[in-house]
């Protein structure tokens, strides 16, 4: 059995065909060009799906992970920020079932990333696991007793929009002080610029200076990791998962900072298990395909 898995991000739309053994049969990627609006994004998703179907017409269905809060029963995006302009209200399930005549499952992209990691990555063997994705923003997802906890209004696991600093920095969700404003990859780069008055284009550049011993950057990275430990501590107390998986773009550079972070977690002496995500930017597509293959129900 094969399924298509689609991961819709603000930068790119990734697609894969995965079989029920977890083998990747095909994959492709296209720029999202999100600034051009909903219709353009839908067109690019359609293109990715069509290209994959041309390679394997015998897929059982299509799974889609997207930014925003998703009603998984209807397939509608019930809330989205301006990262994907005009996205709120889009019903991806209805749209693509009608076009491609196959069942479609839709969920939040952090949820699909957790499904992927729980199936083939860092969450294997755990029935209770939480995921944090540190990228342009901060995503989150919770699995309890083997099932995703989406919540009554589909915002369960939105750790990026838990208030971290009361009356803090404004967030594009409309609140102030959200975790996303302090622990995202975007915040990481902003902190570095503020600490040095230097322009950093990416977290990779920041971490290069960290490895080079830049005192201001070393201090900044340590403070960032202290704050990340606080977030992990709060998750541990609130849900007490077997493991907390850290993914997203910042985790791609984990070889530089992971031991520092783990050491700080261990000092709490609470038995908190933190794991680095293993599937990289393929986790969302793999998890989306898994929804069709049996990881999550279609209805």
Where are the chain's structural domains?
2-113+282-292, 126-277
Match domain 126-277 to its CATH number in 3.30.420.40, 3.40.50.300, 3.20.20.150, 3.40.50.12780.
Answer: 3.30.420.40
Residue 6 has pLDDT above 70, yes or no: yes
pLDDT digits (tens, 9 = 90+) for 46-94: 999 999 999 999 999 999 999 889 999 999 999 987 778 889 999 999 9
* Identical topology for domains 2-113+282-292 and 126-277: yes
Of 77-81, 96-100, 130-134, 264-268, the range with the lowest mean pLDDT is 77-81
Q: What is the mean pLDDT of residues 175-189?
A: 96
* The pLDDT value given to residue 85: 86
Q: Which CATH architecture has domain 2-113+282-292?
A: 2-Layer Sandwich (3.30)
Q: What is the mean pLDDT of residues 192-208?
A: 96
Residue 103 has pLDDT above 60, yes or no: yes
* The pLDDT value given to residue 299: 37
How much of the chain, in percent, has pLDDT values that exceed 90? 86
Average pLDDT, the chain: 94
* The pLDDT value given to residue 99: 95
* The pLDDT value given to residue 123: 96
Q: What is the mean pLDDT of residues 120-134?
A: 95
* The pLDDT value given to residue 297: 38
Residue 264 has pLDDT above 80, yes or no: yes
* The pLDDT value given to residue 295: 54
Measure the N-to-C terminal CA separation of the chain; round to a whole number of Å: 19
More confident residue, 26 or 249: 26
pLDDT digits (tens, 9 = 90+) for 140-168: 999 999 999 999 999 999 999 999 999 99
Residue 262 has pLDDT above 90, yes or no: yes
264 by Cβ neighbours in 10 Å (0-12 / 13-18 / 19+) ranks as middle
């Amino acid at each position: 059995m094969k399924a298509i898995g689609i991961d819709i991000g603000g930068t790119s739309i990734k697609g894969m065909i995965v079989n029920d053994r977890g083998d990747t049969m095909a994959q492709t990627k296209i720029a999202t060009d999100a600034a051009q609006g909903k219709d353009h994004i839908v067109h690019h998703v359609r293109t990715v799906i069509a290209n994959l179907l041309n390679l394997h017409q015998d897929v059982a269905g299509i799974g889609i992970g997207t930014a925003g809060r998703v009603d998984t029963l209807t397939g509608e995006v019930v809330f989205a920020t301006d990262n994907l302009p005009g996205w709120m209200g889009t019903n991806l399930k209805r749209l693509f079932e009608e076009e491609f005549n196959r069942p479609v499952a839709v969920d939040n992209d952090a949820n699909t990333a957790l499904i992927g990691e729980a199936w083939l990555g860092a969450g294997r063997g755990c029935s209770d696991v939480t995921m944090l994705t540190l990228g342009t923003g901060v995503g989150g997802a919770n699995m309890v007793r083997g099932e995703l906890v989406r919540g009554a209004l589909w915002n369960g696991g939105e750790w990026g929009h838990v208030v971290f600093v009361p009356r803090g920095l404004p967030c594009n969700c409309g609140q102030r002080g959200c975790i996303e404003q302090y622990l995202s990859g975007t915040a990481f780069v902003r902190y570095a610029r503020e600490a040095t008055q230097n322009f950093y284009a990416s977290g990779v550049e920041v971490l290069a200076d960290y490895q080079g011993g830049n005192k201001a950057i070393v201090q900044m990275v340590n403070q960032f990791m202290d704050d990340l430990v606080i977030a992990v501590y709060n998750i541990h107390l609130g849900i007490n998962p077997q493991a907390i998986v850290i993914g997203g773009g910042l985790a791609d550079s984990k070889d530089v900072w992971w031991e520092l972070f783990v050491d700080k977690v261990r000092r709490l002496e609470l038995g908190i298990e933190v794991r680095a995500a293993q599937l990289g930017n393929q986790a969302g597509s793999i998890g989306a395909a898994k929804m069709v293959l049996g990881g999550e129900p279609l209805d």
